[in-house]
Structure 1
Amino acid sequence: MNAQLPTGHSAVPSRKTGILLLNLGTPDATDYWSVRRYLEEFLSDPRVIETPRLIWWPLLNGVILSVRPQKAGANYAKIWDREENDSPLRVITRRQAEKLQAAFAGRDDVLVDYGMRYGNPSIKSAIERLHEAGCDRILLFPLYPQYSATTTGTANDQAFRALMKIRWQPAVRTVPAYFEDPGYVEVLARSITEGLAKLDFTPDLVITSYHGMPRSYIERGDPYYDQCHETTRLVGEHLGWEQDRLMVTFQSRFGPTEWLQPYTDETLESLPGKGIKKVAILAPAFSVDCIETLEEIEMEGRDLFMAAGGENYAYIPCLNDTPDGMKIIETIARRELSGWL
């Protein structure tokens, strides 16, 4: 005899909407094996490394994963949040999720969570939590103002992979790139104004350093390069600055291929020789401070610039979970949830 299937309203849970903040990820600790596990997952992603597997895999597993984790672990140790015993990226992303949840206080039908493309908490685990909590609609919010297949694309991919395993799938929306959003441009410009007001010097130049990528990715159709330049152009217009007061550079290049130029490190080394000895720098491609901003830009960038003859150097932090940073996240989330809430 067949078991009787449940009927009536009791079988249909109350409707809830989930907001899932997506970020890149971080090792769980700074030791060799923790960093190796993270780098292996990151550098195995074909969205990030488009080199043919036949060439890339022997190099990755034979050389890179033997040497790079130790150096990367030492760099993570420089910026590790000792109080939280965690990576700044995970600490701040978690706070963003908590504050966004608080912004929807009074609504028990909205749940906010966060997941990492690489490492923990995984995007898969976050989707499972939201689904088990009764969310039949989920807004995926990649925390990248400018779109790239290597960031927004792969984060969404991972979410879709998780959704493929769910029988009763929730409806899904993805937040589009917001590189030219007037609210984002405004708060980014304000962060520059407020950052400069705290300095005891006036910069000769303000640099907007974006994470780089191989030039070939742009040639294959990735819109990232143009969106980075557009963000900086719009911020400069909002500030009312002359074009030569703001500069775009690209950081974090890896391997022997040509990446987007000009390179941040080479620029910082060359500026003092051109008479530009006072610099402020920020990283608009990052919504959260991480190793690429706190170690590579704030620390290593300073060392390069000062060693080349620079006199003053200042790093302007990411928007993070500041009131302005949360304002733009909440505004975009509410806009993209239109019709659901």
Structure 2
Amino acid sequence: MHEQDRCGILLANTGTPAEPRPHAVRKYLAKFLSDPRIVPMNRVGWWFILHAFILPKRGRASAEKYAAIWTDEGSPFAVAHDKLQHALEARLQEEGFDVVVRCGMSYSEPSVHDAVRDLKKGGCTRLVVLPLYPQSAHSTTGAVSDGVQRALRKERWDVPLTFVDNYHDNGTYARAIAASIKHAGFNPDSDDKVLFSFHSIPLTDIEEGDTYELQAGASSLHIAGELGIDRNRWTIGYQCRFDKGREWLSPYTTDVLARWAEARVGRVFLVCPNFAVDCLETLYDVDHELKPYYYDKIKETGGTPHEDSLVYVPCLDRSRAHVRVLADVLRPHVEGDR
């Protein structure tokens, strides 16, 4: 970079409630579920259904789930992003880059707008946006792009912008995920299996050109290659359907688990490669929903589940490996004319 060229880096993600209480969760969900990229029907009708039925019920239920994963430090999701922000900035500065790193959330604080404003005030002359979704989708990466454009207009900041749409095929990312699976106890020379569980999306998004499914498949193939396992040792499932009124990308993770319970497979290592940071969908759903579901299915077949019948592989989260991945993804975009 030139001497006066300071690069602002925005790490963007979905967000988290401010606290595990119904009113805070309702506030977060109201913003999330009002995004035009999320709304499943006519916006006027959806507004009524959302505020009259969904938020009152889901606010209470989700608050109980968030309370189960909350830590003394606060939201594990928020804490991880704060650690990542500082660690990534320090690493890139140690490499000689003049950078400022900020995190911004699409639906909570600090917002994407907050991050953009801070980077502008920090004297940044270029902006690189990295949504923390290795596989891009209209409903995730697209929402970040919308938020960044709104923020730049509000700040009246005409700055050179690089938007990193995805990093699903980055080698450092694939190796880091593979290493995390091995670290969790996976043995490539055993009958252990890997279930790559991705967040599902509506099929209408794919019909409109979303390449998320292709990226999920490519990532899984690359990670499996790093593990050195054949195709019969791994598969893909999708979790977190939002509603049942639309068709969603499948097979569902629960269906895969039911099939594997019937087949009496060995240990199952469940990893969520499209979640960069552990969140409600991983910290709660795996332990409180997917794991009990799988163990019940094993019992239905006459089998006896063991403690390690299903092993969850944590996200890269705030780890040094994750910092290396993000630095490797960002480095070509930060180098500029250096």
What TM-score, normalized to structure 1?
0.90
Q: 1:265: Cα distance to partner?
A: 2.3
Matched, 1:102 2:87: no
Q: Which amino acid aligns with 1:47?
A: R
Name the SS for the 2:273 alignment partner. Answer: coil
List aligned pairs for 1:177-192, cutoff 5 A: 177-192=166-181
Q: Who is 2:129 aligned against?
A: 140
Structure 2 residue 7 is matched with structure 1 residue 17: yes
Aligned: 1:47 with 2:37: yes
Selected match of 2:64 from 69, 74, 81: 74
Q: Which residue of 1 aligns with 2:215?
A: 227
- The amino acid of 2:64's aligned partner reads A
Letter in 2 for 1:118: Y
1:155 to 131, 144, 147: 144
Shift of 1:302: 1.1
Per the TM alignment, residue 108 of structure 1 is displaced from its structure 2 partner at its CA by 8.1
- 1:19 match: secondary structure: strand
Indicate yes or no: 2:333 matched with 1:336: yes
- The Cα shift of 1:335 comes to 1.2
**CA deviation string 1:150-181 (max 9, x = no partner):** 11111121011000122342221111311111
CA–CA distance in structure 2, aligned partners of residues 130 and 23 of structure 1:
17
Percent of paired sites with the same residue? 34
* Amino acid across the alignment from 1:31: R
Q: Could you say if the C-alpha distance between residues 279 and 197 of structure 1 is closer, same or farther in structure 2, counting changes exceeding 3 Å?
A: closer
* Partner SS for 2:106: strand
Aligned to 2:320: 323
In 2: Cα distance, 1:191 partner to 1:69 partner: 33
Q: Secondary structure at the match of 2:125?
A: strand
| Corresponding position of 2:310 | 313
Q: What SS does the aligned partner of 2:14 have?
A: strand
SS at match of 1:315: strand
Q: Partners in 1 of 2:216 and 2:262 — Cα distance?
A: 26
How many angstroms does 1:239 deviate by?
1.9
Dislocated runs of 4+, deviation >6 Å: none
Instruction: Show the 5 A alignment for 1:231-270.
Output: 231-256=219-244, 257-270=246-259
SS at match of 1:141: strand
SS at the partner of 1:105?
helix
Secondary structure of the 1:165 match is helix
Report the AA paired with residue 290 of structure 1: C
Instruction: Single out whichever of 168-177 and 18-27 deviates more from structure 2.
Output: 168-177
In the other structure, the counterpart of 2:302 is none
Instruction: Report the equivalent of 2:301.
Output: none
For residues 320 and 178 of structure 1, what CA distance do their matches in structure 2 show? 16
Code of the aligned partner of 1:313: L
How much is the aligned-residue C-alpha RMSD, in angstroms? Answer: 2.1
Q: Is the CA contact 2:186–2:269 (under 8 Å) kept in the aligned structure 1?
A: no
Cα deviations by residue, 1:131-162 (Å, 9 ceiling, x for unpaired): 11111211111111101011111112101100
- TM-score, normalised with respect to structure 2: 0.91
Q: Which amino acid aligns with 1:274?
A: A
Task: Report which stretch shifted further, 215-224 or 32-41.
Answer: 215-224
d(CA) in 2 for partners of 1:203 and 1:155? 40
Number of matched pairs: 326
How far apart, CA to CA, are the structure 2 residues paired with 1:298 and 1:23? Answer: 23
Query: Aligned letter for 2:148?
Result: A
Superposition deviation, residue 47 in structure 1: 1.1
Residue 278 of structure 1 corresponds to: 267
Whether the aligned pair in 2 keeps the contact of 1:42 and 1:118 (CA below 8 Å) is yes
- Work out whether residues 18 and 111 of structure 1, in 8 Å CA contact, stay in contact via their aligned partners in 2: yes
CA spacing shift, 1:41–1:318, aligned 2, 3 Å? same
What code does the residue aligned with 1:280 have?
F
Distance change in 2, residues 1:127/1:340 (3 Å): farther
Distance 2:182 2:317 in 1: 16
Distance 2:157 2:10 in 1: 18
Q: Deviation of residue 37 (structure 1)? A: 0.3
Task: Report the Cα offset of residue 52 of structure 1.
Answer: 2.3
Counterpart residue type for residue 332 of structure 1: V
Tell me, which stretches of 5 or more residues in structure 2 are unaligned? 299-304
Q: Secondary structure at the match of 1:22?
A: strand
Asked if 2 retains the 8 angstrom alpha-carbon contact of 1:298 and 1:314, the reply is no
1:126 is aligned to 115
Q: Which residue of structure 1 aligns with residue 283 of structure 2?
A: 294
| TM superposition shift of 1:15 | 4.2
Distance (Å, rounded) in 2 between the aligned partners of 1:304 and 1:171: 49
Q: Residues 234, 164 of structure 1: CA spacing in aligned structure 2 closer, same or farther, 3 A cutoff?
A: same
- Report the CA distance between 1:276 and its aligned residue: 2.5
C-alpha distance in structure 2 between counterparts of 1:217 and 1:203, whole Å: 36
